[in-house]
Amino acid sequence: MRLLVLCFMCLVSVLIKAPHAVAKGTVSSPPKVLVTIKPIHSLVAGIMEGVGEPELLMEADSSAHTHHLKPSEASKLHKAQVIIWVGPIYEAALKKSLDAVKNSVQLITVTGLKGVHLLPSRAFHRAVDGGCVVDLHSCHNSHADQEDHHEIPGKDGHLWLAAPNAKIIVKAIAQELAQLDQRNAPRYLANSQKIIKKLNELHADLVSEMKSAKGAKYLTFHDFTQYFDIAYGTQCIGAVRINPEVEPSAADLQVVRHQAKEGARAIFSEPQFDTKSVRTIAEDTGLNYAQLDALGFGLDKGPNLYFEMMRRLAYEMRKAFTEEECILPLVCKR
């Protein structure tokens, strides 16, 4: 009996100390929504149009893989009622901060939404010394034996970089918000249908835009374009930086130079990274160089950003495949 009483007192103590989760239907109408990155924020802004405006956590000038929250950003987490993020496979640096608030907010993880299909992280094959072809994730040399940072288990979190995936995200988030804020549920669902129609049009346009680049091979600074490749027919055959949290070694750069001889027509970087190594490889190998952006860098946040970003990405990629010469470091010569 005394043991039962003791267990009950411990349980009461834990419940008193723990923050209470926000129950469905108890958020304000409209809810205070915080979205971590610009492309997803854009889709959520479209869903909430005419109801409220979601807040953006991070600008697109740094990588979400390694982003460390500023005090002002951390404050946003504590003021939000609903937080929408991609998930730990993409925003690993945010996991600890979100764990600290997850019991007091509704946390919506995009990679866990119903209907979302995640691709495994890509394993490139590289030609190395003597022309031997090996799998990236088992590649070893004198450096890798001591510092094996190539292995990145799990899934690819850049799932928004294909319009069909964005449709699934929009539908699922609209349903989540409709459950949390039933007063505005009809608006969320109606807005989602409008966005899905626009995404269908975007997808058709991108399929047409990328026809001339179908099958084109390229290299990137870090691998982020798998979903785009599958949707629109391009082919990334290697990346300079395998782990987004680890700088490439001299051996990594040498292997990429070998890959440049395997039919690659261009090499791409992102504005969020220091990409001197990519520009050097482009100059040494004669590959066309351009920047691709997957986060809405330089674009105004809001419902239109996702569509502008995707069209810009497709344009810059296709242009790099068709131009004979590029101006470093930003854009290809027209």
* Least confident residue range of 54-68, 228-242, 306-320: 54-68
Do 314 and 192 have their domain in common? Answer: no
Residue type, 44: V
C-alpha span between 131 and 127 (Å, rounded)? 5
CATH number of the domain at 232, please: 3.40.50.1980
Tokens of 197: 């129609």
DSSP 254-270: HHHHHHTTTTEEEEEE-
What 3-state class would DSSP assign to 155? Answer: strand
Looking at the structure, do residues 148 and 164 belong to the same domain, yes or no? no
Domains in the chain, number: 2
Q: Which domain holds residue 99?
A: 27-117+160-202
Clarify whether residues 238 and 99 are in a common domain. Answer: no
Are 327 and 282 in contact by the 8 Å Cβ rule? The answer is no
User: Residues 253-268: pLDDT tens digits?
Assistant: 787 888 888 889 999 9
Does the pLDDT at position 226 exceed 90? yes
Provide, rounded to the nearest whole percent, the portion of the chain with pLDDT above 70.
Answer: 76
Q: Which of 5-14, 163-172, 181-190, 254-263 has the lowest mean pLDDT?
A: 5-14
Token pair recorded at residue 291: 């920047």
Q: Are residues 110 and 129 in the same domain?
A: no
pLDDT value at residue 250: 77
Residue 261 and residue 190 share a domain = no
Q: Both 259 and 190 in a single domain? A: no
What pLDDT band is residue 32 in, cutting at 50, 70 and 90?
Answer: very high
Same domain, 150 and 175: no
Report which of residues 65 and 224 the model is more confident about: 224
Q: Is residue 6 part of a domain?
A: no
- Quick one: pLDDT at residue 11? 42
149 shares a domain with 70: no
- Mean pLDDT of the region 212-222: 92
Domain termination residue (choose one: 145, 169, 202): 202
Tell me: cis bond preceding 248? Omega within 30 of 0 counts.
no
Residues 86 and 229 in one domain: no
Letter string b/e over residues 115-154, b meaning 16 or more CB atoms within 10 A of that residue's CB: eeebeebbebebebeeeeebebeebeeeebeeeebbebee
Write down the pLDDT at residue 154: 83
Q: Is the pTM of this model over 0.85?
A: no
Task: Return the axis-axis angle of helices 38-47 and 305-322, rounded to nearest 10°.
Answer: 140
Residues 180 and 305 in one domain: no
Let me know if residue 112 belongs to a domain: yes
The type of residue at 43 is L
pLDDT of 243 reads 67
Name the one residue in this structure whose structure tokens are 């993409």. 90
Are residues 97 and 144 located together in one domain of the fold?
Answer: no
Domain assignment present for 329:
no
Assess if residue 19 is contained within a domain. no
pLDDT greater than 90 at residue 151: no
Which of 108, 102, 103, 78 has its CA nearest to residue 177? 108
190 part of a folded domain: yes
pLDDT at 125 (0 to 100): 55
